[in-house]
Amino acid sequence: MTADLTTESLVGTELGLTALSGVPTTDEPQKSKDFTSDQEVRWCPGCGDYAILNTMRNFLPELGARRENVVFVSGIGCSSRFPYYMNTYGVHSIHGRGPTFATGLATAREDLSVFLITGDGDALSIGGNHLIHTLRRNVNLTILLFNNRIYGLTKGQYSPTSETGKITKSTPYGSLDNPFNPVSLAIGAEATFVGRALDSDRKGLTEVLRGAMEHRGSALVEILQDCPVFNDGSFDLLRKEGAENRIINLRQGERIVFGAEGEYCVIKTGYGLEVAKTANVSADQIVVHDATLADSSYAFALSRLSEQDLSHFPMGIFRKVTKPTYDDLARAQVAEARQASAHDTAALQALLRGRDTWTVD
């Protein structure tokens, strides 16, 4: 459905809205270039954000999305420049508060596809509270969490996802913190869609993004992304020789087997999951991946296979379930209230003119 959007009808310009240039007036298919803005991309050479940007520009036309129906919301950080580089509507909001802006848009404008672009610092530090409540409410929006395990914009301090012992400008003797696992955090907040992909893996990233876009509800995608200046090579173990023995690719309905020759697998153990050698177990012991399980405990156990040293790292879609969305419920409630007040003005007046009072000293 084509939206009748103007800058003023979306949000006020004081919120840092970037508007479309040359909104098309036809229903002709849009291409990658139609989603490319005229702004100079100002990320450091080699930054993983470039790969994500290019994937998104190519992916949205394939999905049939219309740029006049798309909004990118961001907070503060290197990743938060993203809205400027997409020729869609966009809001560059304030630090950690992107989820609140995105929630408002998704609730007020059902016709929009709302994306939230955030980083590991923006989302999990100052914005952590907003993120978990957006996920638990199941607001219909897609959250792309760029995770480079460092504060890049502010020049290299440790972040909520930095490894324990990480030496940075703010932790010269090594970080004492236990890092967040973003996927575990999202599943713990009962997010209805949770995925993970690597910035340089266009095929895998596109598959996860497609699943997130087709999902109705809160979809969080953690994207492992390299910062070549302040945390170079942070995910090289998942890119170079031997990566097939570390990456656990999740495919719906298939047994979880990985390794160059399929020599490793995932099995159930007690209340959780663990990695085993395929030769040492029977086929029926190997877990068959099912992201659609209503109980989130399986997806959570799967996320806990991720290790700080990247020795094992599941990738793909962890969870994809259907639940009522906050914005749908909110719109229905407003409609019900309007209908009730229209038929019962006496009840409304009684509420407005009631004698219940409070004295505040």
**Domain positions in the chain:** 7-241
pLDDT above 90 covers a percentage of the chain that reads 82
pLDDT digits (tens, 9 = 90+) for 262-291: 999 999 998 899 999 999 999 999 999 999
Considering the segment(s) 7-241 as one domain, its CATH architecture is: 3-Layer(aba) Sandwich (3.40)
What pTM was computed for the model? 0.88
pLDDT in tens, 82-138: 999 999 999 999 999 999 999 999 999 999 999 999 999 999 999 999 999 999 999
List residues bridging with 357 in a β-sheet.
none
Q: Where are the alpha helices (DSSP H) in 182-264?
A: 182-188, 202-214
Could you give the CA distance from residue 79 to residue 319 in angstroms, rounded to a whole number? 24
Indicate the burial class of 294 (C-beta count within 10 angstroms; 0-12, 13-18, 19 or more): exposed
Distance in angstroms (rounded) separating the CA atoms of residues 3 and 26: 12
Does residue 43 register a pLDDT over 70? yes
Say what the pLDDT of residue 16 is.
46
Model confidence band, residue 2 (pLDDT cutoffs 50, 70, 90): very low
Question: In this prediction, what percent of the chain has a pLDDT beyond 70?
Answer: 91
pLDDT value, residue 348: 67
For the stretch 283-300, pLDDT in tens is 999 999 999 999 999 999
CA–CA dist 48, 86 (Å, integer): 16
Structure confidence at residue 184 (pLDDT):
98
Please, which residues bridge with residue 219 across strands?
142, 193
